[in-house]
Structure 1
Amino acid sequence: MSSIVIVGTGIAGITAAETLRAEGFSGAVTVIGDESAHPYRRPALSKDLLLGTMPAEKARLRGADYWNERGIEFRVSVAVISIDVAARTVRLDTGEELPYDALLLATGGRARGLEHSAGDAVLALRSMHDVAPLRAAIERTNSILVIGAGLIGSEVAATARGLGAEVTMLEAAPAPLHRVLPPQVGELYEQIHREQGVALHTSVRLTGLASDGTGGVRATAADGRVWSAGAALLAVGMVPNTLLAERAGLATADGIVVDEGYATSAPGVYAAGDVANCPNLVLGGRHRTEHWNSAQTQGAAAARAMLAGMEGASPAPAPEVPWCWSSQYGLNLQIAGWPQADDETVVRGSIAGRDFALLARRAGSLVGAVTLGRPKDLRAARVLIGEHPTIDPALLADESQDLTALSQRVPV
């Protein structure tokens, strides 16, 4: 009987397992993860779970019975420590060896660290187990120093303000969310955070992070400025978990290198989700995305590719325009594609009025979109980015032209 092993219990891994069964695979499916928690909604970590409006049980995606009913063996609190790509086996930290016909690495990433001497007062937020210590620190000290104003840092800052804490947020870039937002939207979010009482400081180059001598944290900048709080959250990005792949001799470069069918450099081994460095079938080149929705899409595509590979067929390429969302202070920000700070932009609606769709163009093509309160526009923009990138910018700017209607026909 054929056997497929999936390493990683995040959304990429479990979507792959579900897709295998949905596509009729009747062989053994084993999902292995080193977290003790069963699959849960990771986007809720910095929002509902941290705020306390969603109990941990409600964040779970599937119950134990769900896996049993589908004949999927689900192993938590177990780590894969090595892969023998020649023998097609994985070795577990329990001492077991499992054979596979196809193997999916959906190992995700870990929070990027910074050198510091503040001990347990410096925290991260990457898994369910990080939520309780972070919330306890916020409640105990009523203050938090957030280092990094990307998606996680910005959301934690908003949540901490919702808990009534004093929040100081430090960002090395000129504006919050600088890596994913055009400057004018970053400036809007800078204004929003300050309106909500966050002490936001941008263009900060940290030179020190240490204990303040009272159990809290003191951060020092190159220009001599100093900030203190009861605890600190490091939110300076993630590092893809490639160690297992590297030990097995797989090609890695900012993640595990895969082809358009999510196959790695080793026969029968695939990768998907945050850890996968994929060909960008829309813009060309390569990219690695760190979004929940992309991990779902990639998990399903990788499952189909594994089945095709086991049958000796080539999977159909699956171009994807990634998208993500962020909820801060009750505002629903959505981002699609690959917007960059220096893109040409077309704005529908009003950024100042906090009701807009911003469309980003580069070298004559539509490459990204950012919306606030316009989910239909974002869905349409994803189609346009993927299928009609050279659409006339005058059509994009004309609000009498419905974006959904434009996305359903080939623009002229």
Structure 2
Amino acid sequence: MNIVILGAGQAAAALAAKLRALGHAGPVTVIGDEPAPPYQRPPLSKAYLLGEMGLDRLTLRGTDWWAEQDIALRLGERAVAIDRARRVVATDRGEYPYDALALTLGAAPRRLPAAMGGALPGVHVVRNLADIAGLQPALVAGRRLVVIGGGYIGLEAAAVARKLGLDVTLVEAAPRILGRVAAPETAGMIRDLHRGHGVEIIEGVGIARIAGDAVVEGVELADGRLLPADLVICGIGVAPETALAEAAGLDIDNGIAVDARGRTSDPAIWAAGDCASFPAPGGRLRLESVGNAIDMAEAVAANMLGLGADYIPKPWFWSDQFDAKLQIAGLNLGYDRVVTRPGSVWYYRDGRLIAVDALNDARAYMIGKRLIEAGKSPDPETVAAATDLKALL
């Protein structure tokens, strides 16, 4: 069976490795539009942006590994179409026939429209190596940075810039930072962390436009205030890469829609990672995380080879900001109660423990993760009062 993997990120690397580990001996080709081999994305807005991690440590597998595994890497090559009738992927360099195709296309950062100044020189996003290459030289101590968006990417970039000595203001249009992904209690801990390091945080105010003629000069808020700025980072979320799949006529629903085993509406095409949405209780789910990229890709690899097992996600996430590590286990969707402990927030829905946020508290994270994965839900009052969390197990 000739397998083509379209997209060359974390999910692609995991899928290709799993195919070989499971004994697939047929051709495997990985096609990516970036010139670099598959690399980790999370450190881009953390250690790599800060200059504490080099490209060698960012890269997931060395060149020798791909050769040893007899996996063809086609880098710097842009896919332009999927011909489902002929089972061929067309790129800007040629055509690649397939028996089975895996889409691991990831997601792309949302950008402000050009009419709002989103295309001005000095406006940056943080998603790939090219973005960091453009941003790093601009992070000079004493310069004024405005970060638009109070999600994890925006907050991580703000922390790096502040550590490098820039004056940093973060603007969030929603009533508070982390509004979509965390409880007010977690947001409060992160807000205090940033303000303690000198980041100004403005919440509940939208952006009118990025001001400037030839380059960024400031950010005008919806309430009329003008924040002076030498550069801007947009951290307003990402959108799944679905254009190729949509043009090929595949079902799209909050990403490329797959069944419980990772197969799209075309039996010969599969999808995994940030670009794919899968069935979950309460609707379709799309998870933007390293854990999901690896686990879903490995599940898809096994199913491509005939295992026939549903993908059961075990969500986990993390975020490094200043000297703090926020670790998250589970999914807090639809929570109706939170229990707080020093350094951790425990989420419940209908009396069941569904997620834990832990700030510089690895013990709470690990115990919460084990409880969630085991389907155990200690009483909220017991969690709040516990002197030894290990006893909850």
When normalised by structure 1's length, the TM-score is 0.90
- What corresponds to 2:8 in structure 1? 9
- What corresponds to 2:348 in structure 1? 361
Matched, 1:73 2:72: yes
Give the secondary-structure state (helix, strand or coil) at the position aligned to 1:277. strand
Contact map agreement 2:111 2:236 (CA 8 A) in 1: yes
TM superposition shift of 1:106: 0.4
Deviations 1:115-153 (A, max 9, x none): 233611111111011112111122287221100111110
Give the secondary-structure state (helix, strand or coil) at the position aligned to 2:139. helix
2: CA distance, partners of 1:187 / 1:61? 34
- What corresponds to 2:174 in structure 1? 173
Deviations 1:335-389 (A, max 9, x none): 12222596301223x1xxxxx2321011222221101122243233234334425
- What corresponds to 1:217 in structure 2? 217
Give the secondary-structure state (helix, strand or coil) at the position aligned to 1:159. helix
1: CA distance, partners of 2:262 / 2:236? 27
- What corresponds to 1:206 in structure 2? 207
RMSD: 1.9
- What corresponds to 1:28 in structure 2? 27
In structure 2, relative to structure 1, the CA distance for the partners of 1:268 and 1:340 (3 Å cut) is closer
Residue among 366, 376, 381 paired with 1:379: 366
Size of the alignment, in residue pairs? 390
Contact map agreement 1:175 1:187 (CA 8 A) in 2: no
2: CA distance, partners of 1:387 / 1:317? 18
- What corresponds to 1:328 in structure 2? 321
Contact map agreement 1:320 1:386 (CA 8 A) in 2: no
Residue among 93, 96, 102 paired with 2:100: 102
Give the secondary-structure state (helix, strand or coil) at the position aligned to 2:43. helix
2: CA distance, partners of 1:389 / 1:178? 27
- What corresponds to 1:311 in structure 2? none
Contact map agreement 1:250 1:266 (CA 8 A) in 2: yes
Identity over aligned pairs, percent: 39
TM superposition shift of 1:319: 1.4
- What corresponds to 1:273 in structure 2? 273
Where do 1:385-400 residues align within 5 Å?
385-388=372-375, 390-400=377-387
TM superposition shift of 1:87: 2.2
TM superposition shift of 1:169: 0.7
TM superposition shift of 1:59: 1.5
Q: Which runs of 5+ in 1 are unaligned?
A: 309-313, 351-355, 408-412
1: CA distance, partners of 2:250 / 2:214? 47
- What corresponds to 1:111 in structure 2? 109
1: CA distance, partners of 2:356 / 2:4? 36
One-letter identity of the residue aligned with 1:209: I
Contact map agreement 1:85 1:267 (CA 8 A) in 2: no
Contact map agreement 2:121 2:214 (CA 8 A) in 1: no
Give the secondary-structure state (helix, strand or coil) at the position aligned to 2:46. helix
> Following TM superposition, where does structure 1 have runs of at least 4 consecutive aligned residues deviating by more than 6 angstroms?
none
TM superposition shift of 1:302: 0.9
2: CA distance, partners of 1:63 / 1:167? 37
- What corresponds to 1:42 in structure 2? 41
TM superposition shift of 1:284: 4.2
The worse-fitting range, judged by mean Cα deviation, of 369-378 and 19-28 is 369-378
- What corresponds to 2:296 in structure 1? 298
2: CA distance, partners of 1:99 / 1:320? 31
When normalised by structure 2's length, the TM-score is 0.94
In structure 2, relative to structure 1, the CA distance for the partners of 1:288 and 1:50 (3 Å cut) is same
In structure 2, relative to structure 1, the CA distance for the partners of 1:263 and 1:300 (3 Å cut) is same
Contact map agreement 1:395 1:401 (CA 8 A) in 2: no
Give the secondary-structure state (helix, strand or coil) at the position aligned to 1:120. coil
The worse-fitting range, judged by mean Cα deviation, of 325-334 and 378-387 is 378-387
Contact map agreement 2:339 2:384 (CA 8 A) in 1: yes
1: CA distance, partners of 2:334 / 2:312? 24
1: CA distance, partners of 2:283 / 2:383? 26
Where do 1:127-206 residues align within 5 Å?
127-139=128-140, 142-206=143-207
The worse-fitting range, judged by mean Cα deviation, of 200-209 and 69-78 is 200-209
In structure 2, relative to structure 1, the CA distance for the partners of 1:381 and 1:285 (3 Å cut) is farther
Contact map agreement 2:120 2:215 (CA 8 A) in 1: no
2: CA distance, partners of 1:208 / 1:340? 32
- What corresponds to 2:242 in structure 1? 242
1: CA distance, partners of 2:216 / 2:283? 44
The worse-fitting range, judged by mean Cα deviation, of 268-277 and 363-372 is 363-372
Contact map agreement 1:177 1:186 (CA 8 A) in 2: yes
1: CA distance, partners of 2:178 / 2:135? 21
One-letter identity of the residue aligned with 1:347: T
In structure 2, relative to structure 1, the CA distance for the partners of 1:147 and 1:45 (3 Å cut) is same
Contact map agreement 1:182 1:343 (CA 8 A) in 2: no
- What corresponds to 1:251 in structure 2? 251
Deviations 1:291-318 (A, max 9, x none): 112111111111111111xxxxx62123
TM superposition shift of 1:25: 0.4
One-letter identity of the residue aligned with 2:195: R
